[in-house]
Structure 1
């Protein structure tokens, strides 16, 4: 079973299935007996059907706008953001908007082309769980999440920049 990395570097089994967007003319195929992440727009289209279910979460693709979930941000059991390629940084902005503008406080997971050297930056943007690519070693995650002992800028993980922390 794949593993998910928590923001503290610990590992746990990942029992969430990421359900791919169905092709034109096909229906959404949610696995039975397993928690599932479905595309955010499809969740919104059937939100009344999914309301109150703790086994259905949503995932954003890098081109999805987080404001579409703004009024219902606390309803999905889990929110994930897909990084289709490691050079696509739009997921960082989605995470910050979900955390800072829309007040999402649940688990925010990075999925897709997630690499070890990105973990600390993702954590600073508000991610608190990470599903690495299958070819990467998750046991190295703790070191990568805490590579820098101090950060200069304010971000989702601290709203006080270093110069103000030093002054107090």
Structure 2
């Protein structure tokens, strides 16, 4: 009986490349695993989405991840956050007391003062901000930020996924 040699496939490889290997010379070439981006691997997803009546619906059975299904959140908490974000965006855009959204031009200037509502640990609050890093809940004046937080704290906590 011939001697046997056990060769384990190294991590990151999927098997032996027969065409490139030369067993008579003791040359073994491994095939590298092809890293396929998750969305290109034809995955199935399940989770939660917001329907036309603004209800959070649990998609219990897996469905193919295609363009028309890209509104499915992995968790209910994320779907509720998106629901709150939509509502908050409409309030900012349509309630004149809040001055409308900060524009792209305003964000491009670090010296342009804004007032942002942020989450720190499990609390929300507002602060003065003079940089150009984007924040969704941003206002032109301190008064706008204070009033918005005061009137919409529950919705803001939903957006920031604070129970």
TM-score range, shorter chain: under 0.3
State the structure with more CA Rg: 2
* TM-score normalised by structure 1 residue count: 0.22
* TM-score normalised by structure 2 residue count: 0.23
